[in-house]
Amino acid sequence: EPEVTQTPSHQVTQMGQEVILRCVPISNHLYFYWYRQILGQKVEFLVSFYNNEISEKSEIFDDQFSVERPDGSNFTLKIRSTKLEDSAMYFCASSAGHNSNQPQHFGDGTRLSIL
Amino acid sequence: GNSVTQMEGPVTLSEEAFLTINCTYTATGYPSLFWYVQYPGEGLQLLLKATKADDKGSNKGFEATYRKETTSFHLEKGSVQVSDSAVYFCASTGGYNKLIFGAGTRLAVHP
């Protein structure tokens, strides 16, 4: 069965540094998402992306965050200047459509640790 | 905005026990509802879904019924196995297509 793959599985970065989290969505999917889960807290929506544009973003997704689909297969989340509170598990998801009969499929996540 | 509340864990059961994990939602309109499961070291996997009132989602022996009158989507399984040990997340759609998750409930099943 096709999968969403995320790399790396664990990223350790110094505070203030830029970090790029990478995702390869399922190949025929058109909608892409990032979520994050701070340890012990809820999974929170960050951003959705369709047709090379952000469809929706949350309050968390401020100017420090950006997303990009640099080629036909990758979908990246960049954090420009990391803060301690960015430490979390980041999940990428993709879906074929935006109705509930085409649910979101999630990757295994990237654990981001900011020192 | 929409929100999802689910019972706190951990839930600890013996094998073959009956499982209920409660989930309630608040929403404007009529969201779709989901249960996702996260096994240790893995990502979120869709377990089941329901798209309208009175729909029942089912998969791998798990069931949940979309109850509009009580705004609930409780997860049930008649006989749990050790392999069901995981964290279970209730979620609803909100906005354009984002998912709104509950806090997650950890289930531990002992032999």
Question: For B35-46, what is each residue's pLDDT tens digit?
Answer: 999 998 888 999
Q: What average pLDDT does this structure show over A60-79?
A: 93
Q: Do B46 and A45 touch (CB under 8 A)?
A: no
Contacts of B97 in chain A (CB under 8 A): 31, 33, 48, 55-56, 95, 98, 104
> Higher pLDDT residue, A100 or A114?
A114
- Give which of A100, A74, A78, A93 is closest to A35, Cα–Cα: A93
Q: What average pLDDT does this structure show over B46-69?
A: 95
Q: What average pLDDT does this structure show over A82-94?
A: 96
Q: Do B104 and A43 touch (CB under 8 A)?
A: yes
pLDDT at residue B97 is higher than 80: no
Contact A27, A2 (CB under 8 A): yes
Picking from B32, B41, B96, the nearest residue to A48 by CB comes out as: B96
A45 close contact with B: CB closer than 8 A:
yes
Q: Do A108 and B42 touch (CB under 8 A)?
A: yes
Distance from CA of B30 to the nearest CA of A (A): 12
3-class DSSP assignment, residue A84 = helix
- Give which of A1, A3, A11 is closest to A111, Cα–Cα: A11
- Rounded to whole angstroms, the Cα distance separating A79 from A51 reads 21
A31 close contact with B: CB closer than 8 A:
yes
Band (pLDDT 50/70/90 cuts) for residue A42 is confident
Distance from CA of B5 to the nearest CA of A (A): 10
Q: Give CA separation, A75 vs A23, A32, A49, B56, B97, in Å.
A: 5, 8, 9, 34, 18
The percent of residues above 70 in pLDDT, for chain B, comes to: 98
Contact B107, B87 (CB under 8 A): yes
